[in-house]
Amino acid sequence: MPHNDAPTLLPPSITLRRATPADLPALAEADGRAFGQHYSDEHLEEIRRLFDPDRFLVAVDAGEIVGITGSYPFDVTLPGGAALPAAGVTWVSVAVTHRRRGILRALMAEQHRAFVADGLPVSLLTASEGAIYGRFGYGVATEHREAEVTRRRAVLRRDVPDTGGVRQVGTAELRRIAPELHRRWAAQTPGALSRDDAWWDVLLADHEWQRGGATALFHLAHPDGYVSYRIDRGAQTCRVVDMATATDEAYTALWRTLLALDLVETVLARSLTPAEPVQFLLADPRQVRTVGQYDGMWARVLDVPAVLSARRYGTELDVVLDVRDPFLDRGGRFRLRGGPDGAECTPAAGAAPVATIEVTALGSLLFGGADAGSLARAGLLAAEPAVVRRLATAFRGERAPQHGTEF
């Protein structure tokens, strides 16, 4: 599907087209050069399980792939529990020899025009560099908190009940029970991404090259949740790899078990939320030490009425928003009326706005992870202080957003 009419004028030798199944080795080579890794044949076979060439767009110069962008299909949960179809943008790169020629902008413009044509309300990505995607309308929607817990000192409060119910299971059994447990977790977690069978097969394949010097995966299961982890014996560390809990009882029970592991000095979790409940379960919350905090998933609103109508809000509101979207021109004025029981968002071209918001900020607010007041202070949202406060209360979710699946 060649294109020569992208918003940024490309050099005549460069064309855009959809990928083909035969392109995968060349795509992996181009991606590996961009991100500093080599893909083994075994790794390529794993990727092939998720690879749909129709969802990948490449820039080609003299027969060589010099730019890539692709996507995976997901459902993503909004505050209130509704799930929307979303595109998970991935494999974005441009060859170092072809920078500053408009290739990335052309790829992103063509890709996102296709998302709009397909009726997708939102697109998502995880960013290797934080300065790239704001200009395409993406805002940080979830945050990762990396934390270490000193196991021997991490004692749960005496009043925390020990409900039990945790058992050790093998990978085959986890593969059988985890999808439904994850689905239950995702249904109540803003920002959570769905996983189909191919994702589960890849995530639990557990190849040697995935282990980083640690053991193969171990799994703990509870009727309402599970956790997968590895043991780094040299560092006496338990690395939490994946966790999903549909009830508070399961969350507490699984953490109680992790903190009882023998021959482990530190439990390392890389995907906690900024206000993770585990620290409040402990008699000494300082034993959960933050060693890093960084952006997780970014969100890009493609259909303002669809996404704002689908989510629920923390308080009743009736506002006209002027959404600014210079990249895709999907903004405009919209009237949002909603609350805890539902919402409606409709075009309102002739109405006077009470708030002006950049589409990047709307992506950050979408799952309840950002604060409207902070966005206003940063110049991404303009409104009277009372309106900002109401928007902050309305968009805040009941729990911190987590996407759960790296893509």
> Among residues 358, 367, 356, which one has the least CA distance to residue 400?
367
> Hey, what CATH class is 303-395 in?
alpha beta
Which of the following is catalytic: 72, 133, 313, 334? 133
pLDDT, tens digit, for every residue of 180-194? 999 999 999 999 999
pLDDT band for 60, please (50, 70, 90 cuts): very high
Tell me, yes or no, if 251 is annotated catalytic: no
Find the mean pLDDT for residues 321-342.
97
The reply to whether CATH 3.40.630.30 applies to domain 14-120 is: yes
The reply to whether CATH 3.40.630.30 applies to domain 144-294 is: yes
Tell me, yes or no, if 407 is annotated catalytic: yes
Answer whether 144-294 and 303-395 agree in fold: no
Contacts for 129-135 with beta carbons within 8 Å, 24 or more apart?
130/295, 132/92, 132/104, 133/298, 133/300, 134/360, 135/327
Q: Do residues 302 and 330 make contact, with C-beta atoms less than 8 angstroms apart?
A: yes
The DSSP output letter for 102 is S
| Residue written as token pair 């993770």 | 276
pLDDT of residue 118: 97
pLDDT band for 30, please (50, 70, 90 cuts): very high
Distance CA 226, CA 253 (A): 10
**pTM (two decimals):** 0.94
The H or E element spanning position 59 is: strand 57-61
pLDDT, tens digit, for every residue of 79-137? 999 999 999 999 999 999 999 999 999 999 999 999 999 999 999 999 999 999 999 99
Mean pLDDT of the chain: 95
Distance CA 68, CA 135 (A): 18
Q: Where are the domains of the chain?
A: 14-120, 144-294, 303-395
